[in-house]
Amino acid sequence: MSEILVKTRDLSKVFAKGKEKVEVLRGLDLDIEQGDFVALMGPSGSGKTTLLNLIGGLDKPTQGSIDVGGQRIDQLRSSQLSKWRARHVGFVFQFYNLLPVLTAQRNVELPLLLSKMSRSERRRRAATALEIVGLSDRAKHYPRELSGGQEQRVAIARAIVSDPTLLLADEPTGDLDRETADEILDLLQILNTEHGKTILMVTHDPQAASHARHTLHMDKGSLAKAA
């Protein structure tokens, strides 16, 4: 049995909406093994993205613990979380979120600006990441010069450039046509199988979820069943 990479216990998140309190996650226990590819499905408002944000250290739980790679990230301060994210997590968004003023190569280099790597090492790493996603020939292109699928590939290259343990993808194919979506999902699969990345992917799309090893269903802030 593989080692557990992500472990949440009794995880709750309550948002205040005016005077009203909305409980988005309710005492959630979750284990994700190292090297797993998990799809997280569920209706809108079921708490999928909130769970993703908590595991990625973007938000803090109201209650409960989050352990990633042996580190209690719910106990880290904001500045420590920034450093932790830079080193251990790669994010892939639905709308790619590339910086329009930077070329593909430089967008990929962005996370490495936070490291102490030399410029040439940063360039080399970014080139490698672009090669993995199959976009070496688009390195000098700006996001506006790329298709949606290419932009998402660049975003994936940016997510893996610092070689994180965990990849968190929030609807990575939600803005793409079927064919391109499949290419992106194939790429995520390769990253999982060949590069050993642990992936947690939020999706509404059952076909996208079929690329994962496991699918978890959420409903009203709790895990419904495991498939």
Partner 1 sequence: MTFLHLVRKNLGRKKVRTLFTALSIVVAFILFGLLGALNQGFSGSVSLAGVDRLVTIHKVSLIQLLPIAYGARISNLEGVEAVSHYTWFGGYFQDPRQQVFSTPTDPDTFREVYAEFEIDPDQFQAWQNNRVGMLAGKSLADTFGWQVGDRIPIGSTIWPTSDGSYGWEFVLEAVYDDGDPANTNEQQFFFHYEYFNETRQFGKDLIGWYTVKISDPENAEAMAAAIDALFANSPTETKTTTEKGFAQGFVDQVGDIGAIVRYILLAVFFTMLLVTANTMAQSVRERTNELAVLKTLGFSDTRILVMVLSESTLLSVVAGVLGLMLAYVAVGGFAASVSQFLPGLALTNATLVLGLVLTVVLGLITGIAPALSAMRLNVVQALARR
Give me the residues that bind partner 1 (CB under 8 A), please: 49, 53, 56, 58-59, 78-79, 82-83, 85-87, 91, 93, 95, 97, 99-102, 106, 109-111, 113-114, 119, 122, 158
- Smallest distance, Å, CB 226 to partner 1? 26
Compare residues 84 and 219 and give the one whose CB is closer to partner 1.
Answer: 84
User: Do 146 and 154 form a contact (C-beta atoms < 8 A)?
Assistant: yes
The residue to which tokens 């042996």 are assigned: 70
Compare residues 67 and 109 and give the one whose CB is closer to partner 1.
Answer: 109
| C-alpha–C-alpha distance, residues 179 and 49, integer Å | 25
Compare residues 33 and 59 and give the one whose CB is closer to partner 1.
Answer: 59
- Smallest distance, Å, CB 194 to partner 1? 24
Token readout for 166 is 């965990």
Compare residues 24 and 211 and give the one whose CB is closer to partner 1.
Answer: 24
User: Do 6 and 67 form a contact (C-beta atoms < 8 A)?
Assistant: yes
User: Do 153 and 184 form a contact (C-beta atoms < 8 A)?
Assistant: yes
| C-alpha–C-alpha distance, residues 138 and 215, integer Å | 34
- Smallest distance, Å, CB 204 to partner 1? 16
| C-alpha–C-alpha distance, residues 67 and 11, integer Å | 11
User: Do 163 and 121 form a contact (C-beta atoms < 8 A)?
Assistant: no
Compare residues 124 and 226 and give the one whose CB is closer to partner 1.
Answer: 124
- Smallest distance, Å, CB 73 to partner 1? 13
Compare residues 13 and 211 and give the one whose CB is closer to partner 1.
Answer: 13
- Smallest distance, Å, CB 84 to partner 1? 8
Looking at residue 103, the DSSP 8-state letter turns out to be: -
- Chain mean position to CA 160: 10
- Residue 155, SS3? helix
The residue to which tokens 């292109």 are assigned: 141
- Smallest distance, Å, CB 26 to partner 1? 19
